Structure 1
């Protein structure tokens, strides 16, 4: 009960000037990868694991900036120069399923995001899906802010390959793979996307905006830390009421589609690529355009 009283007290104290609040929050992403599960039953050398770890680190460790006010926000990856070499196929796959700039309007309950999928730009529109957050009694300090823990279950977008995980195989299946190392296999047969995942958020009522990184909203304070499946987003810096910051506007580049239409496009293209892969004997021949 004392925890909830503290939350309400903080909301009252900092909510007086909330209408004029604005700021920028910088988030660092960390994603863990199980390399032993990625080899599909085949053994990787330590040198190969080290090389893949470096490539995955370059692809998955990023900085994002959330520019926000009371009602709107724009969420973007911070551009940086990266000299780390990466397999072109892996780089293409990682970028193909990653969202671009994301705009949220809490007043109209709308989210608009830019996505580039295999060289074609899409402008995806959707309503904001607020999770059924359960605020717990746990709290901790993140930087100079008091943060409270909340959890929820999130249904996973079937086109979100950042959530992909290796399928679990029994010993018999692994033995079959090892005994026939020359067998051509569709790599998509070895992964699956979970239907739902648990989300853990740490939010601070000291910044009274119901916002956070990505599509996440709905808590009585800015989300400072977010844990979704294997990925953690941690706020490393906050600039409140900056004199100069990016203008918050919805992105405009790309073909306008709904979320449902975009999921259908991704599925159809993925199925096409899988068919081409199988028909080419596993040589990975790329399919045609849209």
Structure 2
């Protein structure tokens, strides 16, 4: 009996660890010809997207130098629970926010086109990307910028039954294979390849939870009081 139980347990563990996770690689394009790869993992109704843009300096054809800031965040979506959780590093402050998946509202259109061999359908939602024009400086509050990512335009493929995509965008009936913005032509994601890789561990955020903030604050970090952030960071470090 003991041998049978051991054998069944061994088979169960083997089956669990032989399961594959979808590794979806996107090519990310940004200003000044910046180009890198971003990764989305999907398994058993959970997706994990990692955005990491390393700091870099570029020169244009006129010799002008431009600087890309380091940026890092992860988005964990549990489709069964209907929850989204984000960990982000913003100006060296670790931030964490959670919200309901239903908060993402899409307008699905009838427009279609072929992208990388997949028939894709167009959907539109309000952009959630953090960005702004630093045109109104405030010594205490940081900067009050004017956001210029207006709408996010997703092209998703029902052929790939993964309801997720790059960045903060998910909840469509198929994988987002291209993501663009209505009034910014220099920044976009496009699908490069999909791999099946062995599942080593349950999909979770890599970094521990940071300072707890709201969904709105995650997308408008300049509205957070900097003095409060510094106090919370000290408490976080001290374990308080």
The normalised TM-score by structure 1 is 0.55
Q: Distance in 1 between matches of 2:52 and 2:90?
A: 20
Q: How many residues align?
A: 199
- Is the Cα–Cα contact under 8 Å of residues 51 and 167 in structure 2 kept in the other structure? no
Partner residue of 2:208 out of 253, 261, 268? 253
Corresponding position of 1:48: none
For residue 76 of structure 1, report the CA deviation from its aligned partner.
1.2
Q: Distance in 1 between matches of 2:181 and 2:209?
A: 28
Gaps of 5+ in 1: 1-19, 33-52, 168-184, 273-288
Q: As a proportion of its length, which structure holds more strand?
A: 2
CA RMSD of aligned residues (A): 3.8
- Deviation track 1:235-254 (CA, whole Å, cap 9, x = no partner) reads 11111x33357751134424
Gaps of 5+ in 2: 1-18, 60-65, 235-240
Structure ID, larger Rg = 1
- Is the Cα–Cα contact under 8 Å of residues 69 and 209 in structure 1 kept in the other structure? no
- Deviation track 1:165-195 (CA, whole Å, cap 9, x = no partner) reads 477xxxxxxxxxxxxxxxxx8498894125x
Aligned pairs (5 A) from 1:24-103: 24-32=23-31, 53=32, 57-58=33-34, 61-77=35-51, 84=57, 94-95=69-70, 98-103=71-76
The normalised TM-score by structure 2 is 0.65
Q: Distance in 2 between matches of 1:204 and 1:261?
A: 29
Cα distance change on mapping 1:68 and 1:220 into 2, 3 Å? same
Matched, 1:205 2:158: yes
Matched, 1:233 2:189: yes
Taking CA–CA contacts closer than 8 Å with sequence separation of 6 or more, which of the two structures ends up with the larger relative contact order?
Answer: 1
